[in-house]
Amino acid sequence: MALVTTTQTVTDGALFAEVDMGSDDNAPTVRATVVQASTIFYDTPATLDKAERLLAEAASYGSQLVVFPEAFVGGYPRGSTFGATIGSRTAKGREEFRKYHSAAIDVPGPEVDRLAAMAGKYKVYLVMGVIERDGYTLYCTVLFFDSQGHYLGKHRKLMPTAMERLVWGFGDGSTIPVFETQIGKIGGAICWENKMPLLRTAMYAKGIEIYCAPTADARDVWQSSMTHIALEGGCFVLSANQFCRRKDYPPPPEYEFQGTEENLTPDSVVCAGGSVIISPLGAILAGPNYEGEALISAELDLGDIARAKFDFDVVGHYARPEVLSLIVRDLPAKPATFASTSTKVEDSHQ
């Protein structure tokens, strides 16, 4: 089985590589990279410039698929309370939300067009975590692009975790896509929604083969969840997280890490990464990396999907639909629907 694991660590503009070569065979393979890097907070144009540099570096090493972390464009507001307590909000917190809203992107929009152009320029499939702006509601979203520079679609996080619910809306069943591409069936779930068994089941039922898991969770226990999903789904799991230091966020008082700010220096690590690539058989192909910003790459032997599902096909021979079944409501959930006089209105029961 062919196996190449590579970590390219970005340090002061230099790129260092460590390569572990395994045995070779004729199985089809896909070169995949997960990006471990920080947002340039409140500066979306600069973040897009950084994304292109990293994408170019990954492509130069032959990557066909590149996965970026959760909220890479727009930023993950780690440590912020947005000045909110139950029953009250502060003026400073409202202004913080205004700036965060301003750094988000519209989908579709010019930033999406640029990301699509980047994917086409470097001939890679691109999976990008963004903060999506839909009017005045924000969503934690993942965008998918093909290697020809086409925007394929998006996944909105179904269930923001804890304080994330203060600033992010909830996705619905209309954005749980799995895209059939030339390198396999690609989809994704974001951070702790990966712990939702019914969501995972829906993705398995759509035939996902390359399961992208952008995250903000750098704990060791996250690796257990990623390994479980790879084994459960018989799929490759690609988890990308940011590596951030305090200096990657605006300085206080513009931005403060509530409850811990006094203990932080500019070089304090506030998110340690842990990005990883895992095979359908549960083998760690690359990572986890906790050392700094990095490009973490591996060769995905697509034959491992069949090898794994010989043992366990969660929505195939191991399913018991006569006992257990799932209904997924995959239509958009809209607060209001308008029908013009020129549109035939169907009976509401149909």
CA distances from 288 to 42, 59, 224, 248 (A): 28, 21, 11, 21
Active site residue 154: no
Active site residue 271: no
* 3 state DSSP class of 235: coil
Residue 54: name the closest of 136, 153, 122 by CA.
122
* 3 state DSSP class of 46: helix
> Given 132, 140, 154, 157, which residue is catalytic?
157
Residue 240: name the closest of 114, 55, 105 by CA.
55
> Given 191, 235, 244, 271, which residue is catalytic?
191
Cα–Cα distance for residue pair 64/50, rounded to 1 Å: 19
Q: Angle formed by the axes of helices 44-60 and 110-122, to 10°? A: 10
E strand or H helix at 143 = strand 137-145
E strand or H helix at 88 = strand 88-89
* Six token digits for residue 331: 């239509």
CB contact at 8 A, 74 and 168: no
Residue 73: name the closest of 98, 99, 50, 92 by CA.
50
CB contact at 8 A, 207 and 178: yes
- Dihedral sign of CA atoms 232, 289, 50, 73 in order: positive
> Given 70, 193, 209, 232, which residue is catalytic?
70
Active site residue 191: yes
Residue 162: name the closest of 84, 106, 52, 276 by CA.
84
Cα–Cα distance for residue pair 211/233, rounded to 1 Å: 9
Cα–Cα distance for residue pair 217/241, rounded to 1 Å: 7
| Residues labelled as active-site residues | 70, 157, 191
